[in-house]
Structure 1
Amino acid sequence: MGAGYTVMKFFFILLNVLFLLVSLGGIGVSIWMFVDPTIPLHFTQESRDYLITTVIILLASIILLIVSLLGIFGAGQEARKALVASFCLLLIIVVAEIAAGVWGYINRDSLEAHIRASVKHSVGEEYDKDDNVKALFDTIQTKLHCCGAERPMDWVRGKEFIMGVSSDITTYNVPESCCRTGIAPTECQGAVRDIPIGKEPNKSLVYDNGCYTMIYDKIKESCCIILIVGGVVLGIQVVGLILGLILACSVNRARRYKA
């Protein structure tokens, strides 16, 4: 029993070191989500829900950090109470992750419609009013090489883009972030200003693809990566639960064996 117990304890400590690294990564990601307004995940949910999601990620990471520290201490010092506490907290995290995964799978069909509506709302309503949305969308247009929600003419919004004039207009402007890479600033300014209503900007100077499809594809790719990483982490956590339970039940016998 001594050799087997030692091996289990070693692997349990190793798993908790991995949990420690994952928890620190989760804390870093949640802080990044708090401070960086240019994350495309903003489009997957309302601002309040996005904040709640970020807080949940932060809290889950902190709990996982506590789990890892309790697990390392409990295994190293053969402290049964610490092992039991680590097991209980980890069980809560596993149940919450499974529940979140099931909820996400059930609501997967509404994601595309929500992102489409959110991108259109950002272009039509929020771009001129919210500096964070402006920075986010300018960054997206520049990095994803796109313009507008579905096409550049989405920037025709019934109001003058720069001046905010509410009367009828015959021309429209698009943001300079729509200009293709390598275009001179003066050439860019000429291409994005005073475009006749009903006419597309010069496609050789301005991106002609809408951003909605680009954003949706990027989020789908990110979700696939998150699912793969989450599945691996969940599997490791289940193994950690099993080892933690075995170690918690074996501590007293191991002490008697050593004695």
Structure 2
Amino acid sequence: MGAGYKCMKYLFIVLNIIFLLFAIAGIGVSIWMFVDPTIPLHFMQKSNDYLISTIIILIASIILLIVALLGIYSVAKEARKALIASFCLLLIIVVAEVAAGVWGYINRDKLDVHIRTYVQKIVREDYDVDENVRSLFDTIQSKMYCCGALSPMDWTKGQVLYMGIKNSPSIYNIPQSCCRPGVSPKECATATHLEVGSNPDSNIIYDRGCYTLIMTKLADNICTIMIVGGIILAVQVLGLLLGLILSCSMNRSHRYKA
């Protein structure tokens, strides 16, 4: 029993070091989300929702950091109360992760429609009236090599081609942040000022929408995301099981000493 107990203690410490690394990474990601406006999630949610999401990630990472420190301390000092506290906090994180995953899977179609509608609203309504939104979306288009929500044609903003006789045809403007690298300012200015009904030059203008590009990348990497998420969850569940076993072992050990 002594050798097995020591092995479990060492394994538990290793798991908590992994939790510590996860926590540091999570805190780093949340800080990155605060300061970097080019993160795709930034324009796929309302500003308040994005802020709440970032805060939740930060709080969860801090809790995981506390879990790791309590776990290492409890085993090193044979502190059963610290181990129980670590177990309870980790259990809260696991339950929250599973609940969020199940909710996201059940509501995936509604979420997709909501996000697509919101990004289209940014292009059609918010871009022209909000300087912060305009600056953010321009940065995203230029860095992600995309244009509009679903395609560059989103910048027509719902205008339709007038089929009758008209002296001045309807014009729509595409932001110059949609121009490909290496295009001269003159070519870019010409290519982004078009009549409604005409298609942008794909040699000058990015031909993929930002929302479409992000969803495509997510679909291409969904298996990797699920595998990584499953590994993280499995490590956490293993931590819960070891914590429970060690807690019971510590309790028996303390009774024997008494």
TM-score (structure 1 length as normaliser): 0.86
Could you tell me which residue of structure 1 aligns to residue 69 of structure 2?
Answer: 69
Could you tell me which residue of structure 2 aligns to residue 114 of structure 1?
Answer: 114
Could you tell me which residue of structure 2 aligns to residue 216 of structure 1?
Answer: 215
**Is contact 2:44-2:119 (8 Å) kept?**
no
- Counterparts of 1:4-83 in structure 2, within 5 Å, are 4-83=4-83
- Residue 53 of structure 1 deviates from its aligned partner by 1.6
Unaligned runs of 5+ in 2: 160-167
Unaligned runs of 5+ in 1: 160-167
Could you tell me which residue of structure 1 aligns to residue 235 of structure 2?
Answer: 236
Letter in 2 for 1:71: G
Letter in 2 for 1:183: V
Distance 1:111 1:220 in 2: 15
Distance 1:211 1:53 in 2: 21
Distance 1:204 1:51 in 2: 37
- Counterparts of 1:200-211 in structure 2, within 5 Å, are 200-211=199-210
Q: Counterpart of 2:128 in 1: which secondary structure?
A: coil
Could you tell me which residue of structure 2 aligns to residue 133 of structure 1?
Answer: 133
Letter in 2 for 1:114: H
Distance 1:220 1:256 in 2: 54
- Residue 111 of structure 1 deviates from its aligned partner by 2.7
Change (3 A) 1:132 1:22: farther
Q: Counterpart of 1:172 in 2: which secondary structure?
A: strand
Letter in 2 for 1:95: V
Change (3 A) 1:139 1:218: farther
- CA deviations 1:82-105 (Å, max 9, x no partner) are 111111111111111111111011
Letter in 2 for 1:200: N
Letter in 2 for 1:244: G
Q: Counterpart of 2:141 in 1: which secondary structure?
A: helix
